[in-house]
């Protein structure tokens, strides 16, 4: 937005900014926060302190830098205030869980290690943040974040202390971090019907169950070797093992059909099962894929679990390029009436990446001193 456009909404802007005034004890950081918000709205190519200060008419970026790195304010309360915004969201909103890597040169930043970095598309020295973003038919926004702390970091007290990692922080998988953010958003009554994400989250049965238990629907990508059953199978609830002890964990009954990888199930579908659908506009026109859907049983433990949809997306130009998704949408959901999430997962994730990029997210120590990921620009 241009300064003139921002001034046109001056009353609305001041009312919005006033919601966060209680987070700042002193007037200086409160004024800097208003400047920071104006900088985020400014039409500058890089949302760093220097460019944002110039766009807002400040002589230098020192006030913004003090706000981000020195002032005392609660970033978690700021997040909650945003999630409580009364004009926010739609009932059919989509929650998107995804991770982003932050390239680093040193070894002292919390969580840094050589690991896969989506930003670079390969293994690099980086930090990884897990993000929850939000998409509706009208727009998209950022909701929450967590820093992924690798297991070797959690087991190194000296390194943790040097990086100011709080003692209560323990190792959690990316799917567990996503579950925390989703649960928090739901407690704040963020309207959300669907949850989507890549294989890191779709391969985790506990996350899928958490979403379903909350009354939400998921469309989550899964690996090609994800095991499923084509239909329900007889199960033995309890049995005696080789030692004669009674075992209560269920297992497949004799004669039951074994599980299969989702890729095998999809490969067996007839040509008539595929439909060509556009999932949104791309740079060269509509982005079109072939889609197929079949009812299956997800795996829980060693036996068939809940009945779900297995979706497959196939490239039109390269039929060997496939992606697979599991969804707990109702069995009577017609193809043409599926909401945005099932057939526009790619579009939602692209919006997720834009929502994360717009505030110029960077990893850092938050203003309160806790290690985390902040919606803050680098100085």
pLDDT score recorded for residue 379: 31
pLDDT of residue 195: 95
Query: CA–CA separation, 310 vs 74, rounded Å?
Result: 42
Among 74-83, 160-169, 180-189, 360-369, which range has the highest average pLDDT? Answer: 180-189
User: Structure tokens of 349?
Assistant: 């994730």
Q: How far apart are CA 130 and CA 320, in angstroms?
A: 30
Which of 151 and 82 is assigned the larger pLDDT? 151
pLDDT tens track for 223-233: 999 999 999 99
Full DSSP string of 133-179? EEE-SS-EEEEEEEEE--HHHHT-HHHHHHTT--TT-----HHHHHH
Identify the CA nearest to 118 among candidates 103, 140, 106, 138: 103
Q: Tens digits of per-residue pLDDT, 280-317?
A: 777 777 888 999 999 999 999 999 999 999 999 999 99
- Cβ atoms 84, 20 nearer than 8 A: no
Residues composing the chain: 379
Q: Six-digit token pair at 317?
A: 């130009």
User: Tell me, what's the pLDDT at 360?
Assistant: 38
Q: How many CA atoms lie within 13 A of 277 on its CB side?
A: 21
Q: Considering only CA atoms, which of 238, 232, 125, 220 is closest in space to residue 179? A: 220
CB-based contact 238:248 (threshold 8 Å): yes
Q: What span, in angstroms and rounded, lies between the C-alpha atoms of 141 and 348?
A: 11
Least confident of 4-8, 35-39, 170-174, 320-324: 4-8
**pLDDT, tens digit (0-9, with 9 covering 90-100), for 42-89:** 888 888 899 999 988 898 999 999 998 888 888 899 999 888 876 678
- Higher pLDDT, residue 39 or 6: 39
Question: What mean pLDDT is reported for the chain?
Answer: 85
Percent of the chain with pLDDT over 90: 57
Contacts for 264-269 with beta carbons within 8 Å, 24 or more apart?
Answer: 265/228, 265/230, 265/294, 265/296, 265/310, 266/292, 266/294, 266/310, 266/312, 266/322, 266/324, 269/294, 269/312
Lowest mean pLDDT among 103-107, 160-164, 343-347: 343-347
Closest of 218, 177, 192 to residue 306, by C-alpha: 218
pTM of the model: 0.85
How many Cα atoms sit within 13 Å of 335 on the Cβ side?
A: 16
Per the model's pLDDT, the better-predicted residue between 85 and 179 turns out to be 179
| Predicted pLDDT at 128 | 95
Say which residue the tokens 């890191």 belong to: 200
Would you say the C-alpha torsion 336, 341, 346, 350 has a positive or negative sign?
Answer: positive
Q: What's the pLDDT tens digit per position in 238-252? A: 666 666 666 678 889
Q: Please list, residue by residue across 155-172, b when 16 or more beta carbons sit within 10 angstroms of its beta carbon and e when fewer do.
A: eeeeebeebebeeebeeb
């680098």: which residue's tokens?
378
């Amino acid at each position: 937005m241009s300064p003139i456009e921002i001034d046109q909404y001056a009353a609305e802007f001041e009312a919005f900014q006033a919601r966060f005034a209680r987070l700042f004890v002193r007037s200086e950081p409160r004024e800097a926060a208003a400047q920071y918000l104006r900088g985020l709205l400014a039409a500058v190519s890089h949302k760093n302190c220097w460019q944002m200060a110039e766009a807002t008419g400040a002589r230098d970026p020192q006030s913004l830098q003090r706000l981000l790195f020195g002032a005392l304010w609660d970033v978690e309360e700021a997040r909650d205030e945003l999630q409580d915004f009364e004009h926010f969201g739609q009932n059919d909103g989509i929650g998107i869980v995804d991770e982003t890597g932050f390239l680093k040169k040193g070894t002292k930043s919390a969580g840094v290690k050589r690991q896969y970095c989506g930003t670079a598309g390969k293994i690099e020295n980086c930090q990884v943040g897990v993000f929850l973003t939000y998409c509706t038919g009208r727009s998209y926004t950022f909701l929450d974040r967590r820093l992924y702390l690798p297991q070797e970091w959690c087991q190194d007290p000296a390194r943790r202390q040097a990086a100011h990692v709080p003692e209560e922080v323990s190792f959690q998988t990316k799917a567990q971090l996503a579950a925390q953010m989703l649960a928090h958003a739901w407690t704040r009554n963020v309207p959300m019907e669907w949850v989507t994400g890549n294989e890191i989250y779709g391969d985790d049965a506990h996350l899928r169950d958490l979403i379903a238990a909350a009354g939400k629907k998921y469309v989550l990508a899964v690996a090609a070797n994800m095991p499923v059953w084509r239909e329900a199978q007889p199960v033995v609830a309890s049995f005696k093992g080789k030692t004669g002890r009674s075992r209560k964990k269920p297992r497949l009954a004799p004669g039951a059909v074994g599980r299969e990888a989702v890729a095998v199930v999809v490969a067996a579908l007839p040509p008539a099962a595929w439909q060509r659908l556009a999932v949104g506009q791309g740079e060269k026109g509509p982005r079109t894929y072939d889609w197929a859907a079949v009812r299956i049983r997800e795996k829980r433990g060693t036996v068939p679990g809940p009945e779900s949809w297995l979706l497959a997306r196939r490239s039109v130009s390269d039929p060997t390029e496939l992606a697979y998704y599991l969804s707990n949408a109702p069995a009577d959901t017609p193809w043409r009436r599926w909401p945005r999430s099932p057939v526009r997962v790619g579009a939602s994730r692209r919006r997720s990446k834009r929502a994360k990029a717009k505030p110029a997210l960077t990893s850092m120590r938050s203003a309160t001193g806790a290690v985390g990921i902040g919606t803050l620009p680098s100085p």
